[in-house]
Structure 1
Amino acid sequence: MIELVGISKTFNGKQGAIHALRDVSLSVKKGEIYGVIGYSGAGKSTLIRCVNLLEKPDTGSVIVKDVDLTKLSTSNLRKARGDIGMIFQGFNLLKTATVYDNIALPLKLTGLNKKEVEERVEKYLKIVGLDEKHNAYPAELSGGQKQRVAIARALSHEPEILLSDEATSALDPDTTEAILDLLLKINKELGITILLITHEMNVIQRICDRVAVMENGEVIEEGKTKDIFTAPKHATTKKFVNSLFSHKIPADILTSLNQTGQVATLSFFGESSGEPALALVSKKFDIYPNILSGSITQLKNESFGQLVVHFKGDPAEIKKAIQFLKNDQVKVEGVKISDADTRVS
């Protein structure tokens, strides 16, 4: 559906050239929700603006529905953009226009007749849950409602692709959850492919099928969301994953615990919270597992949990127990003393 091949983009600043993108390639499949995450300055905003050529890359190809947009004429590019909707962090609503007109005016500019415009506005306001806000003005809406209007406006052009540029960054946690649920609904019921960028890992874990991690204009890691959570490779990716967990153990306590056994982090998927596996371990081996900390986060299709556990007992028995857990598809990692005062990984 979307394929970026060797995309590079450089801006000329007061202090010299700024390399926003460096030979970036990624592929978004039809019908999936693909997330791009990175800290400020990573290049993700430039990347998403290259997809509909709001920013034209210096080099590389932007292929959407098997057509390289960089090779289209101005008129053909305008037509191709009709299949690509976009929502922004700042909503970009007309302050002096009603909710209805914010959606209707862009449709009128495309040449749709009055009846078609009315039908589309009604349809998409209903989908986003604002069918009773036709005559309201942006100043009368909450941040979440404004974003819903922006989403309805993007959907009203009936695109096959929806680009989301930090669409939840200005919203509170509860409103963010509601918008993410709406994006899931749009993806599932309308079959729209969604490419989003964010600096919030909770957005990735809640709705994305796959994710790319960016840093300094490059994709440093990419894969299925589940795989990124299970086995992050790059230090920046690990930092993002660990941001969802708050396990902290003081170094002096960790040192003391390791004298009577071993402290380890257990990572697992599925509905189980991990206790049944530990119960089996305590019965099968002569050790005493003690949960020091734990949390579970929900990914798009399943849960992912971490437990920090102190295994007390004979080293040989602990080794057998850990191997048992690994054989049971539980990822087991030791906790270093140098990591004790930060997040356990």
Structure 2
Amino acid sequence: MIELKNVTKKFESKKKGHAILALKNVNLTVNQGEIFGVIGYSGAGKSTLVRCVNFLEKPSSGEVIVNGQTLGKLTNDQLRQARQNIGMIFQGFNLLKTANVYDNIAIPLKLTGIPASEIKARVEKYLNIVGLSDKKYVFPNQLSGGQKQRVAIARALSHEPDILLSDEATSALDPETTDSILNLLLKINREFGITILLITHEMHVIQKICDRVAVMENGEIIEQGNVIDVYSDPQTTTTERFVSSIFPSDIPNEIIEELAQRGPIIQLTFVGESADQPALSMLAKKFDIHSNILSGNIVQLKDRPFGKLTAHIQGTKAETDKALHYLIEQGVKVSEVKVNG
């Protein structure tokens, strides 16, 4: 559906002979019908990447293949046609302030030559899908941020694309509105089978609706995979920081040092069914140990629960070893917490 092969993007600097590498040999595949998230901190290259997918930014080298077409080989007319199958929504909504909601959706359709009768049907259909049928003749300045984004989504869907690109579409919204927009994107993906590629700096966005994720840093993809795999076993420091943002466990070193003298401090990672099991209480019944929960949280990763728990285990080495082995047998990932620094 979407494939980036060794994509590099250079921006020429004002300093002669100096170029800024926004993307460095990026390789990425987004499968048909999935929701793929790209996450990274500011300056990681996320926006440049997503703009290369529809050639709003043309790569300096490499290939972008969408629906089997290599965009760099298309004529201008062919590229315009290909872009009609790629919808895009932005953080800033990009609505026409002097046009009402209906016209904000209808005008772009007119420009692509859609008949007037078809335009009316599409506008009404997609306004109904985003829940704004009653706002047809309202102007953007009369809408909330979430409503403006819904109009932008309806406008993108009205071209009936195969792919929807989201460039930080929820970053300007409050948490409750963000969740409503994410639920809408999930509904669109499930009901219409539209492939969604989104970029964000918010781990909450990834965990709520994405099937797979790529982590970007300094113009490169440093890690990618199924969301559940990346969450449960991050391979890079940057990914660990993102995951830690939803599982805060800042236990002071002094406490770790003191408790570690009486038994191991362990971090337990639960995925799927294991997240619903009373693991620590079972340990106390099966083995001669005592446990104390220091921190923990369970979140929902799209359709699967995922949790992390930090606990202190006390008992003889033989008993604690047997207890930890039991946890592993139950599908719980176990790692020991060490003193930071």
Q: TM-score over 0.5 for the alignment?
A: yes
What does residue range 129-208 of structure 1 map to in structure 2 within 5 Å? 129-208=131-210
What does residue range 178-327 of structure 1 map to in structure 2 within 5 Å? 178-270=180-272, 273=275, 276-327=278-329
Report the Cα offset of residue 245 of structure 1. Answer: 1.3
Contact 2:232–2:269 (8 Å) recurs in 1 = yes
Partner of 2:113: 111
Contact 2:22–2:218 (8 Å) recurs in 1 = yes
Report the Cα offset of residue 270 of structure 1. Answer: 2.3
Report the Cα offset of residue 272 of structure 1. Answer: 5.4
Instruction: Give the distance between the partners of 2:276 and 2:195, measured in 1 at CA.
Output: 34
Partner of 2:103: 101
Contact 1:274–1:307 (8 Å) recurs in 2 = no
Instruction: Give the distance between the partners of 1:36 and 1:128, measured in 2 at CA.
Output: 24
* Count of matched residue positions in the alignment of Structure 1 and Structure 2: 339
Contact 2:274–2:332 (8 Å) recurs in 1 = no
Secondary structure at the aligned position of 2:264 is classed as strand
Report the Cα offset of residue 13 of structure 1. Answer: 1.7
Instruction: Give the distance between the partners of 2:252 and 2:65, measured in 1 at CA.
Output: 50
Moved over 2 A (4+): 270-275
Report the Cα offset of residue 168 of structure 1. Answer: 0.4
Partner of 1:60: 62
Instruction: Give the distance between the partners of 1:274 and 1:51, measured in 2 at CA.
Output: 40
Contact 2:274–2:330 (8 Å) recurs in 1 = no
Partner of 2:340: 338
Report the Cα offset of residue 223 of structure 1. Answer: 0.4
Query: Partner letter of residue 280 of structure 2?
Result: L
Secondary structure at the aligned position of 1:338 is classed as coil
Instruction: Give the distance between the partners of 2:21 and 2:118, measured in 1 at CA.
Output: 44
Q: Deviations over 1:94-143 (max 9, x none)?
A: 00110011001101111112111110000000000101000111100000
Partner of 1:343: none
Instruction: Give the distance between the partners of 2:60 and 2:275, measured in 1 at CA.
Output: 49
Report the Cα offset of residue 293 of structure 1. Answer: 1.3
Instruction: Give the distance between the partners of 2:123 and 2:106, measured in 1 at CA.
Output: 6
Q: Deviations over 1:40-66 (max 9, x none)?
A: 111111000000000000111111111
Instruction: Give the distance between the partners of 1:312 and 1:49, measured in 2 at CA.
Output: 54
Q: Deviations over 1:256-290 (max 9, x none)?
A: 21121111111101255566221221122110111
Cα 1:71–1:337 change in 2 (3 A) is same
Structure 1 residue runs without a partner (length 5+): 340-345
Secondary structure at the aligned position of 1:261 is classed as coil
Partner of 1:14: 14
Instruction: Give the distance between the partners of 2:31 and 2:131, measured in 1 at CA.
Output: 28
Instruction: Give the distance between the partners of 1:127 and 1:170, measured in 2 at CA.
Output: 22
Partner of 1:38: 40
Q: Percent identity?
A: 62
Give me the TM-score of the superposition, normalised by structure 2: 0.97
Report the Cα offset of residue 14 of structure 1. Answer: 2.8
Secondary structure at the aligned position of 1:318 is classed as helix
Partner of 1:342: none
Contact 2:189–2:196 (8 Å) recurs in 1 = yes
Query: Partner letter of residue 53 of structure 2?
Result: V
Instruction: Give the distance between the partners of 1:273 and 1:227, measured in 2 at CA.
Output: 15
Structure 2 residue runs without a partner (length 5+): none
Query: Partner letter of residue 150 of structure 1?
Result: A
Secondary structure at the aligned position of 2:6 is classed as strand
Contact 1:180–1:207 (8 Å) recurs in 2 = yes
Query: Partner letter of residue 256 of structure 2?
Result: L
RMSD: 1.1
Secondary structure at the aligned position of 1:157 is classed as coil
Contact 2:33–2:194 (8 Å) recurs in 1 = yes
Partner of 1:84: 86
Instruction: Give the distance between the partners of 1:113 and 1:332, measured in 2 at CA.
Output: 61
Partner of 2:4: 4
Secondary structure at the aligned position of 2:306 is classed as strand
